[in-house]
């Protein structure tokens, strides 16, 4: 067994290119090696901003010999009547480099066959053409071709190293002759570095190149954690910045600088965004106050000769960036926040759905519908909610949000607050976007919840009606995310039983009124929303099906049913009850049952009377119960009585009135189970 080292050096990649490219390279090499019968024992992956490397351990010294049976055309095609091979037969021999052949039986009849033998090649003879294929197969977001090279790459290649153990492989890729050495850090250790598969990481570290990505992360994390502990800051490191910065350096050298005091009045989210977007600097918050710690951490790709000079330069750049942000923020504060929605008339939302002003008008009406129908608010409160809804997109036309779109909602909160609105109203500017993803927090106040649902409802039905429904990986309007958010918020309204279908139907009526040419498919949208319960509730599929199968229109009830079913499955035996419920459903499925309750006067057997009495008793008792599990357990007490009913009572009696009465009794039981527990016929028990 032997080891292989491959390294390719290039001009600095964009940080987002490196991890995907290295993963592609690894998969391509392993796939090619498997086809060439030289699978390694293990593979180690390394990368920096300017290089990628693979170290293959425990690779066979040479390609093993091959002897395999190959088959071709049927005998009647490969062998002629003259006793000689036809052109098809000769082609089979030539293709597989065969001199001898024979015929054997197969599912297709007798076919020509032979033993293909191939002498194993030297490892270098296999690796060089494989490397060529792998490098040319790499796919980047943007590629270039330069010089006389015919292949495309993200950035110009500077060197290619290929070694088997200590020995460099003699070969080339396009215009690049394989190098026998690597190269150190361009500032700290310029020049060649002698490496091998076994000492690659250590020798490169001596040359001031940390090729192990995780090691670079630890270096940066260690510095930041020291700053956190010595300044009593919150123990939180921005993962997004870390993933960028770690792929922008070969030798990380963190330094700390000051955020100028004159910008302390700026919203901290704005300061963080400026430092993150333009400079990729880390920021921290004070643990006790939650305020922005007035210093930033930058990661250099060099050890400066004079750190103070570098910090002064960094702070000068930061001051300039923050000055621009402060100008936009100050200019925005001079504007009348309430009247900014008039500018929304100039901002297109979607060609078939109108401007953002058209959208907020619909949102205001949907908010009114939700507030009146499910929250029973008085006229004054409803008007307050509508006025709030009309302002939620106002910050989209401000200078700061134009420069930093990610701050929409956040800046709206600051502008509304500065305009004199209290926390209840100003917080809605930000909270109506919540939750951004599954599992994240929902709006904290009731107005925020109502407007959030209204906004998402308009986006969902508008998207479907305008032909923007999500397909595969495409979801331009983020309709899936809005569906998740709508259900999550609706499910958090404990006392108000918001009906999703009713809200979406009302939202669709407003879109239709705005653009009569757009059509609404109620069933399609409802199916789409129901499918989102899996992500919202996070339960097993069968539990979600059981909870939603009893009615998916009210998310609060679906959530409670799912929680109840999970608790039952965890701690109680409901197998028998589920089987009895399924039996009742199967009977009812095949019959047309008249409306109404069963008539006790038509009962003929004690088992009927006992079941009827038990169901009525349970219905009376669960009215006084608040815990859904207690309600479910009370219903399950019917199990023994229901079992005796099915064992002793012939439901399909000859007398039509007796039969229908018994069917009504069964329906009374199944309806009780379905409404209070769920459609437990879906459970895998």
Token pair, residue 513, equals: 């009124």
**Between β-strands 102-106 and 42-48, what pairing exists: parallel, antiparallel or unpaired?**
unpaired
Residue 569: predicted pLDDT? 85
What pLDDT was estimated at residue 62? 86
Is residue 319's pLDDT more than 90?
yes
Tokens of 675: 């409404």
Above pLDDT 90, what percent of the chain? 70
Most confident of 168-172, 182-186, 303-307: 182-186
pLDDT surpasses 80 at 108: no
pLDDT of residue 183: 97
Across the range 236-254, mean pLDDT stands at 96
Does residue 144 have a pLDDT over 90? yes
Banded pLDDT at 501 (limits 50, 70, 90): very high
CA angle 255, 272, 334 (to 5 degrees): 135
pLDDT surpasses 90 at 122: no
At 527-568, the pLDDT tens digits run: 999 999 988 988 888 999 999 988 999 999 999 999 988 888
- What's the mean pLDDT in 211-224? 97
648 or 204, which is more confident?
A: 204
* CATH architecture for segment(s) 338-538: Orthogonal Bundle (1.10)
pLDDT of residue 210: 98
What is the architecture of the domain spanning 2-62+122-206? 2-Layer Sandwich (3.30)
According to the model, what pLDDT value does residue 119 have? 80
Domains 2-62+122-206 and 338-538 share a fold: no
Percent of the chain beyond pLDDT 70? 100
Q: Summarize the confidence of residues 35-52 as an average pLDDT.
A: 94
**Residue 514: pLDDT above 90?**
yes
Peptide bond before residue 192 is cis, with ω within 30 degrees of 0 = no
Alpha helices in 207-263 (DSSP H): 213-231, 239-245
Nearest to 133 by CA among 145, 146, 151: 151
Model confidence at 76: pLDDT above 90: no
pLDDT of residue 425: 97
| Domain range summary for the chain, segments of one domain joined by + | 2-62+122-206, 66-118, 213-333, 338-538, 573-682
| 573-682 CATH choice from 3.10.20, 1.10.1660, 3.30.70, 1.10.730 | 1.10.730
Mean pLDDT of 155-170: 95
Binned at pLDDT 50, 70 and 90, residue 576 comes out as confident
pLDDT tier at 317, thresholds 50, 70, 90: very high
Q: How confident is the model at residue 260, as a pLDDT?
A: 93
Q: Provide the pLDDT for residue 117.
A: 77
Q: What is the pLDDT of residue 225?
A: 96
pLDDT (mean) for 136-148: 92
Q: Tell me the pLDDT tens digit for each residue of 606-636.
A: 998 999 999 999 998 898 888 888 888 888 8
pTM, two decimals, is 0.81
pLDDT of amino acid 393? 98
- Phi, psi for 524 (deg, rounded to 5): -60, -45
Tens digit of each residue's pLDDT (9 = 90 or more) over 175-194: 999 999 999 999 999 999 99
Angle of CA points 516, 507, 449, to nearest 5°: 160
User: HSE-up of 569 (CA within 13 Å, CB side)?
Assistant: 18
How far, in Å, are 362, 393, 510, 523, 525 from residue 513 at the CA level? 10, 22, 5, 20, 18
Residues 6+ apart with CB under 8 A from 362: 458, 462, 507, 510, 511, 514
Q: Which two tokens stand for residue 541?
A: 């599929």
How confident is the model over 276-285, as pLDDT tens digits? 988 999 999 9
* pLDDT, tens digit, 9 for 90 and up, residues 327-378: 999 999 999 999 999 999 999 999 999 999 999 999 999 999 999 999 999 9
CA distance linking residue 188 with residue 209, whole number of Å: 9
Q: What per-residue confidence (pLDDT) applies to 471?
A: 85
Q: Catalogue the long-range contacts made by 270-276 (C-beta closer than 8 Å, 24 or more residues apart).
A: 270/325, 270/329, 270/400, 270/404, 270/407, 270/411, 271/322, 271/325, 273/404, 273/406, 273/407, 274/318, 274/321, 274/322, 274/325, 274/404, 275/318, 275/321, 276/238, 276/240, 276/241
pLDDT band at residue 304 under the 50/70/90 scheme = very high
């Amino acid at each position: 067994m032997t080891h292989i080292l491959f390294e390719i050096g290039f001009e600095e990649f964009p940080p987002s290119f490196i991890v995907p490219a290295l993963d592609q390279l690894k998969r391509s090499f392993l796939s090619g090696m498997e086809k060439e019968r030289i699978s390694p024992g293990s593979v180690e992956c390394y990368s920096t901003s300017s290089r990628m490397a693979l170290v293959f351990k425990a690779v066979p010294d040479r390609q093993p010999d091959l002897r395999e049976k190959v088959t071709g055309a049927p005998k009647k095609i490969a062998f002629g009547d003259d006793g000689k091979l036809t052109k098809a037969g000769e082609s089979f021999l030539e293709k597989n480099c065969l001199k001898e052949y024979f015929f054997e039986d197969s599912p297709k009849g007798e076919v020509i066959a032979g033993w293909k033998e191939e002498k194993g090649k030297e490892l270098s003879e296999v690796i060089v053409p494989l490397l060529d294929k792998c490098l040319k197969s790499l796919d980047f977001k943007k590629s270039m071709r330069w010089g006389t090279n015919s292949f495309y790459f993200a950035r110009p290649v500077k060197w290619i190293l290929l070694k088997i153990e200590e020995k460099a492989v003699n070969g080339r890729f396009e215009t690049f002759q394989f190098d026998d050495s690597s190269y150190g850090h361009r500032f700290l250790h310029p020049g060649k570095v002698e490496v091998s598969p076994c000492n690659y990481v250590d020798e490169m570290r001596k040359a001031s190149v940390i090729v192990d990505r995780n090691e670079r992360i630890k270096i940066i994390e260690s510095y930041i954690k020291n700053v956190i502990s010595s300044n009593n800051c919150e123990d939180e490191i921005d993962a997004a910045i870390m993933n960028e910065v770690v792929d922008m350096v070969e030798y990380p050298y963190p330094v700390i600088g000051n955020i100028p005091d004159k910008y302390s009045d700026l919203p901290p989210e704005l300061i963080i965004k400026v430092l993150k977007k333009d400079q990729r600097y880390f920021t921290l918050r004070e643990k006790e106050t939650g305020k922005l710690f007035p210093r930033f951490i930058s990661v250099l790709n060099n050890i400066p000769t004079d750190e103070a000079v570098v910090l002064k330069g960094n702070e000068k750049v930061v001051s300039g960036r923050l000055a621009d942000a402060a100008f936009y923020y100050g200019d925005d504060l001079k504007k009348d926040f309430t009247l900014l929605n008039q500018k929304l008339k100039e901002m297109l939302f979607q060609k078939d759905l109108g401007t953002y002003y058209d959208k907020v008008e619909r949102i205001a009406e949907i908010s009114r519908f939700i507030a009146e129908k499910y929250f029973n608010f008085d006229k004054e409160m409803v008007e307050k909610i509508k006025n709030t809804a009309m302002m939620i997109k106002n910050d989209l036309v401000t200078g700061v949000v134009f420069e930093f779109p990610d701050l929409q909602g956040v800046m709206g909160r600051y502008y509304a607050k500065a305009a004199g609105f209290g926390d209840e109203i100003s917080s809605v500017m930000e909270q109506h976007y919540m939750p951004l993803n599954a599992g994240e927090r929902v709006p904290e106040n009731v107005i925020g919840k109502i407007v959030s649902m209204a906004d998402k409802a308009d986006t969902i039905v508008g998207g479907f009606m305008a032909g923007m429904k999500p397909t595969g990986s495409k979801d331009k309007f983020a309709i899936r995310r809005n569906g998740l958010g709508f259900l999550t918020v609706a499910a958090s309204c404990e006392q108000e039983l918001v009906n999703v279908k009713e809200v979406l139907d009302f939202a669709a009526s407003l879109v239709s009124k705005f653009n009569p040419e757009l059509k609404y498919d109620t069933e399609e949208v409802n199916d789409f929303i129901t499918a989102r319960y899996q992500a919202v509730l996070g339960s097993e599929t069968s539990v979600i099906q059981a909870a939603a199968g009893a009615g998916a229109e009210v998310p609060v009830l679906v959530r409670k049913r799912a929680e109840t079913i999970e608790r039952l499955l965890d701690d109680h035996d409901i197998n028998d009850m589920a089987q009895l419920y399924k039996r009742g459903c199967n009977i009812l499925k095949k019959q047309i049952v008249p409306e109404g309750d069963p008539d006790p006067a038509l009962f003929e057997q004690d088992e009927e009377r006992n079941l009827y009495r038990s169901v009525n008793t349970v219905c009376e008792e669960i009215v006084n119960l608040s815990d859904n599990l207690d309600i479910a357990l009370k219903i399950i007490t019917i199990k023994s009585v229901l079992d005796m009913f099915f064992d002793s009572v012939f439901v399909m009696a000859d007398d039509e009135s007796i039969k229908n009465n018994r069917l009504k009794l069964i329906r009374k039981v199944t309806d009780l189970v379905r409404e209070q527990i769920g459609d437990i016929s879906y459970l895998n028990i």
